[in-house]
Amino acid sequence: MQKMGYEETIALTALLLLLLAPVAGLSQPAPAVGQSVGVGGTVLNREGSPVEGASVVVYDTNNAVVGSTVTGPSGRFLIPLTTGTYVLKLSKPGYVEKTLQFAVGKGSFYTELGTIVLDYSVAISLPFASLSLPVLGVATLPATLFNRGSSPESIALEVESNCSLSVGFYSGGVQVNSLLLNPGDSQSLTLRVKAPYMQNATCLVRLRFTGNV
């Protein structure tokens, strides 16, 4: 008699999704009268989508603020300036602050910085793996979340599967569905996967990390 075997194969993927509340009612300021030069650019996230509502502040060589605005719906900004050398700082909750140095020359309408990409504040260390589990078998994987930004991040942890798997994040034996990470903090968790009682199947587990700001 042929012996039947049962096992689960789980393909693990990790997705980072930050849902950022847009800032309503913000628009680009008009250039000041009498100023013919300035700086412009377009701010995008890693997926290439515009980052609206990002703070843009320009400092002169004495570290004094000489201009500021917020990015519009297309991620675009334009700040009128006189000629000189400046430092530009971009920031928004959910993203890592970015600093750029630039110069505005005489006779030019404005200095174009082009596309500026902001990285997400929350970084995730999680091994991508395929696991083979027997019926009711259990596997664990280490996962670490980091906050590289300058603002606290409230993160919801969600797990989706196309099979009847038991999957969750745990810390010290307690299941974790959300956590708060202050700037510079990290949190080590364990991803626990338990196979159900069923015939051979290939299951996909999708991990969603949602930061609400």
pLDDT digits (tens, 9 = 90+) for 46-99: 889 999 999 999 999 999 999 999 999 999 999 999 989 999 999 998 899 999
25 belongs to a structural domain: no
- Same structural domain for residues 179 and 113? no
96 belongs to a structural domain: yes
| pLDDT for 136 | 83
- Same structural domain for residues 44 and 102? yes
Q: Is the pLDDT of residue 143 over 70?
A: yes
| pLDDT for 5 | 28
The total of structural domains in the chain comes to 2
Average pLDDT of 147-155? 89
Last residue of a domain, one of 117, 140, 172: 117
- Same structural domain for residues 159 and 205? yes
Domain that holds residue 130: 7-19+121-212
11 belongs to a structural domain: yes
1 belongs to a structural domain: no
Q: Which residues of 156-172 are buried (b: 16+ CB within 10 A; e: fewer)?
A: ebebeeebebebbbeee
Last residue of a domain, one of 117, 140, 157: 117
Strands of the 98-104 sheet, one edge to the other: 65-70, 55-59, 84-91, 98-104
CA-based nearest residue to 68, from 50, 89, 83? 89
The span from the CA of 186 to the CA of 176, in Å, is 14
Under 8 Å CB-to-CB from 97, ≥6 apart: which residues? 89, 90, 91, 149, 150
Q: Is the pLDDT of residue 4 over 50?
A: no
pLDDT in tens, 169-185: 999 889 999 999 999 99
| pLDDT for 129 | 66
User: In CATH, what number is assigned to the domain containing residue 200?
Assistant: 2.60.40
| pLDDT for 114 | 96
Q: Which helix (H) or strand (E) holds 189?
A: strand 186-194
30 belongs to a structural domain: no
